[in-house]
Amino acid sequence: MKNIASDIKNKSFKPIYLLYGDEQYLKTACLRQLRQAIVGEDAMNLSEYADKADVKELISVAGTLPFFADRRLIVLNRVSLFKNNNDEINELMDNIPSYLTVVIVEDNIDKRKTLYKIINKKGYICEISRLSDGDLTKWAVKKLSDAGFKIRGSTVSHLLSRTGNDMNNIDNELEKIISYCEGREEITTDDIDDIVIFQPQERVFEMIEAICAGRKEKALKLYYDSIALKEAPLKILTLLERNYIGILQTKSGNGKLPDSELAKLIGSKGVMRFVVEKYKRFASMYSTERLKQLIRDFAFIEGDIKTGKISDRNGTELMIISAMKGM
């Protein structure tokens, strides 16, 4: 992203920019900056496509000179250009006119495609992944500092434990905190508890905490609260299963791998540091064999739900109670 910032500062733009990865907030911010720098408020020289784009129309737009301006911009937002090889698209990208910049935004790409090789040769490719815990903390602290607030590192960790690592969600919660704490100097954990909504994953963490503590009533209350908030029972079951798989992986790797490697083992894109800490604590309360049995039980219950032998609500409740046994 530094290269893009440099291009914007120098007003020297590549023919093609490819922004891809799983951090939507940063991709959107980067696209917004490029759009503003290249065409500003000039809608006449901006063509944006989302989800799909007609190839012949694209070729026609690309061949149209800018209207009383130096540059024309085409934005292709998740139009799945990498799904198939398209000779016309490849030809267009390989021969972009000097007045045109194309910005392509995708979640996933295929580096084996001819299109990727063309962009790599002609333009700039930027992978935008989720930030690390440390970078998320710095970003949140800066946003709050710019708004005139102080916040302790431990309070930011408490915030992230509730929001997860999606920057769009964190940004929304930070805006709520800023409004809620107007006129104050420091943001506290009590403020976080008052205003920040638990994400489904974080509520599942609380549920597992209660399960591990043998607090059946609290675990089931959290489950019923989730249902009252319109969470699907099968989704809750899936989240529980995914977390118990993470707990088993943590138990297997704990003491053999550093936390950074454990985080990669648990999730293909890594998980946050606090998740590893929670998993380590949960793992200490189960034997390896019991965790393996629970994973098998999850699959068994899920099969019964999908074949109609038990309702999704009752099946998930049964699994919550089962997880407390034999610890």
Which helix H or strand E contains 105, and what residues bound it? strand 100-106
The sign one gets for the Cα dihedral 269, 273, 278, 282 is positive
Q: 321 CB contacts (<8 Å, ≥6 apart)?
A: 216, 220
Q: Are 37 and 14 in contact (CB under 8 A)?
A: no
Q: Are 191 and 181 in contact (CB under 8 A)?
A: yes
The residue with tokens 């733009």 is: 13
pTM, 2 dp: 0.70
Taking only the tens of pLDDT, the chain with its 327 residues reads 788 999 999 999 999 999 999 889 999 999 999 999 999 998 999 999 998 888 999 999 999 999 999 999 999 999 988 888 889 999 999 999 999 999 999 998 999 999 999 999 999 999 998 888 889 999 999 999 999 999 998 999 889 888 888 899 899 999 999 999 999 999 999 999 898 877 777 788 889 989 988 899 999 999 998 898 888 999 999 999 999 999 998 888 876 666 667 666 666 455 567 788 888 889 999 999 999 999 999 999 999 999 999 999 999 999 999 998 765
The residue with tokens 């798989």 is: 245
> Residue 327 CB: number of other CB atoms within 10 A?
13
Q: Are 110 and 82 in contact (CB under 8 A)?
A: yes
Angle at the Cα of 206 (from 178 to 230), degrees rounded to 5?
A: 75
DSSP state at residue 152: -
The sign one gets for the Cα dihedral 197, 202, 204, 205 is negative
One-letter amino acid identity for 276? V
> What distance in Å separates the CA atoms of residue 192 and residue 194, rounded to the nearest whole number?
5
